[in-house]
Amino acid sequence: MLKVAMFGAGGMGTNHARAYARMPGVAVVGVMDHNRDAADRLADAVGARGFTSAGEMFDTISFDIVDVCVPTPWHAEYVCLAAEREVAGIVVEKPMGRTIEDCDRMIEACQRRKIPLFPAHVLRFFPEFAAARRQVDSGVIGDVASVRTRRGGPFPRAWENWYGKPSLSGGVILDLIIHDFDWLRWTFGEVDRVFARCLSAGKHEVDKDYALVTLRFRSGVVGHVEGTWADPGGFKVGIEVAGREGLIELNFNQPASPAFTAAISGPVGAGPGVAVPENPTAESPYYLELEHFISSIRSGTPPAITAEDGRAAVQIAAAALESAETGRPVHIV
Ligand SMILES: NC(=O)c1ccc[n+]([C@@H]2O[C@H](COP(=O)([O-])OP(=O)(O)OC[C@H]3O[C@@H](n4cnc5c(N)ncnc54)[C@H](O)[C@@H]3O)[C@@H](O)[C@H]2O)c1
């Protein structure tokens, strides 16, 4: 039995804990959250114990895996604490860190103890995104010239309105379209130049956000990445890859739910959380990504997504944030 200790009992913590709870040979044994009610509620739902302090959880229970689903600025703190306990593996939600320096701290702490650190870039487990990458790789559309992605929906409402504070969440660039940055880098290789415009750039607090980011890949491919937290009409995802021999197009439009429509005009904190794309396939991509990590720990093989991949996605986002603030293109070295 692999035992999991969770940090964060909000939207993603609940999603991960429920996935582990139905995974054969895996049990959630502890849930830590600053909010006592949230920790206990999720712990009760999955048969674990709730805690409000990391030290108390670590000293009270035995565990093999740590999964960090607190808001992004606190990822590094809990990943580094977990690394001191010599666990078998650590999962950290995307974006891996608020800054590149945070990512470097986590990588260093985990490398020192040879602990696999898995940034949860779930898009790689959405079958349509994996299939689009396979098609690009197979050469069926020939040499790629350009790729466009679009992602977004209503403004996310969560703990202390942290998504509305760009200093914490990084806005749509760091929090949302980092999904696309990871998929694009996985599919088209390294990025060398970034230019971005973003509504939340330099702002203290926002109630909507929008960004348009242009990427130039080392291969010469040009990427055009759009992200929005200003669309109350439901979560939408789209990609279009243009090659010399053909076009790959994918569009997913989730209808607006009445709960989200109400939450958009309601007070912060009253909403149902964060819209995430759904998938009509037999198994949730969120389950598949965690199952992949668990089986990599069992077999002792490296997981398909490395901590360096998580850092590289944060680096693209950091360059886009810098470009949006300065109005200038930023080169990634
Ligand atoms: N992969 C995806 O599709 C996806 C979707 C949503 C969120 N996320 C990521 O998951 C992470 C969590 O986001 P969320 O939407 O679940 O947030 P949330 O606001 O729903 O939940 C955060 C929880 O963490 C608790 N918390 C806050 N600070 C804490 C701290 N320092 N120590 C302990 N507990 C603390 C809060 O009480 C709350 O229960 C973020 O990094 C976010 O970017 C990923």
In terms of domains, do 61 and 135 share one?
no
Residue 40 maps to a domain: yes
What integer is the mean pLDDT of 156-182? 97
CATH code for the domain in which residue 86 is found = 3.40.50.720
Say if 291 falls within a structural domain: no
Domain count, the chain: 2
Please report whether residue 300 resides in a domain. no
Give which of 115, 159, 149 is closest to 238, Cα–Cα. Answer: 149
Residue at which a domain ends, from 97, 120, 143: 120
pLDDT at 298: 97
Give the pLDDT mean for 231-254: 95
Query: Are residues 94 and 192 both part of a single domain?
Result: no
Query: Nearest 5°: CA angle at 167, between 9 and 189?
Result: 85
Q: How many residues does the chain have?
A: 333
Q: Which of 120, 155, 183 corresponds to the end of one domain?
A: 120
pLDDT digits (tens, 9 = 90+) for 262-292: 433 333 444 457 777 666 667 899 999 999 9
Residue 283: its pLDDT value, please? Answer: 85
Look up the domain containing 88 and give its range: 2-120
pLDDT in tens, 220-239: 999 999 999 999 899 999 99
- Domain-embedded: residue 298: no
CATH number, domain of 227, equals 3.30.360.10
My answer on whether 182 and 264 are in the same domain is: yes
Give ligand 1 pocket residues (Cβ under 6 A): 7-13, 33-35, 38, 69-72, 74, 93-94, 120, 122, 158-159, 162, 175, 273-274, 276
pLDDT for position 259 = 53
Residue 25 Cα to ligand 1 middle (Å): 26
pLDDT: is 66 or 202 the higher one?
66
Q: How far is the CA of 241 from the centre of ligand 1 (A)?
A: 32
Please give the Cα distance from 174 to 225 (Å, whole number).
12
The count of other CB atoms within 10 Å of the CB of residue 254 is: 16
Q: Are residues 152 and 52 in the same domain?
A: no
Look at residue 272 in the predicted model and tell me its pLDDT. Answer: 54
Ligand 1 pocket mutation, candidates 33, 36, 57, 70, criterion most atoms within 8 A of CB:
70
Distance 320 CA to ligand 1 centre (A): 23
Instruction: Name the band, by pLDDT with cuts 50, 70 and 90, for residue 155.
Output: very high
pTM above 0.75?
A: yes
Taking only the tens place, the pLDDT of each residue in 1-28 is 999 999 999 999 999 999 999 999 999 9
Domain boundary among 120, 150, 181: 120
112 CA to middle of ligand 1, Å? 27
Predicted confidence at residue 269, as pLDDT, reads: 43
Asked if residue 204 belongs to a domain, the reply is: yes
Atom of ligand 1 nearest to the CA of 162: 19
